[in-house]
Structure 1
Amino acid sequence: MHIRLYTKTNCPLCEKAKAVLTELQADYSFTIEEIDIYQDDALLEKYQLMIPVIELDGEEIGYGMIEKEMVRKRLRQAQKG
């Protein structure tokens, strides 16, 4: 499984989301790709008010205040296939 974490610099919510994902890696096998939206104008336009955004295998599963249990549930579903 692969998670893309769309972030920006100086973003406390982004840091919290990253911490949640790092904790969940202890229970689930997935990679994290962190993407700074300020490096891509299209991403900046798409996500600027939603940051952070978590995308699991190409599907947006959460943004803003990231709830650990919501992400855990989605990871569990994805793992079962």
Structure 2
Amino acid sequence: MAASDALVVLYSRSTCPLCDDARATVERVCRDVGATWTEILIDDSPSLIAAFGEYVPVVEVGGVQQGFWHIDSQRLRRAVERSQPGG
């Protein structure tokens, strides 16, 4: 799924334990509320590495950054619910 098609975007790196935790959180929250999400690995993109650096994982909802490093599931859920139609 393209980032532009997903409500939630997780920016991560391939060898990142915090990213593994964030992926599980995003997956669970999006499944629970029926939202689409996608993951973008920044490893091979100089522009994304410049943008996010060591702040990964980064989660955006509707193009707005909602958190980095440790993703709070309740905050993410509220942001997703507000961003969905009728929310």
TM-score bracket relative to the smaller structure: 0.7 to 0.9
Moved >6 Å (runs of 4+): none
2:58 to 53, 62, 78: 53
Aligned-partner residue type, residue 32 of structure 1: W
Please list, as runs of the form range in 1=range in 2, the aligned pairs for 1:8-23 lying within 5 A after superposition: 8-23=13-28
TM-score by length of 1: 0.88
Among all aligned residue pairs of Structure 1 and Structure 2, give the percentage whose two residues are the same amino acid. 28
Please list, as runs of the form range in 1=range in 2, the aligned pairs for 1:24-63 lying within 5 A after superposition: 24-63=29-68
Unaligned runs of at least 5 residues, structure 1: none
Provide the secondary structure at the position in 2 that maps to 1:66: coil
* Equivalences, count: 81
TM-score by length of 2: 0.83
1:70 to 51, 63, 75: 75
Instruction: State the superposition RMSD in angstroms.
Output: 1.4
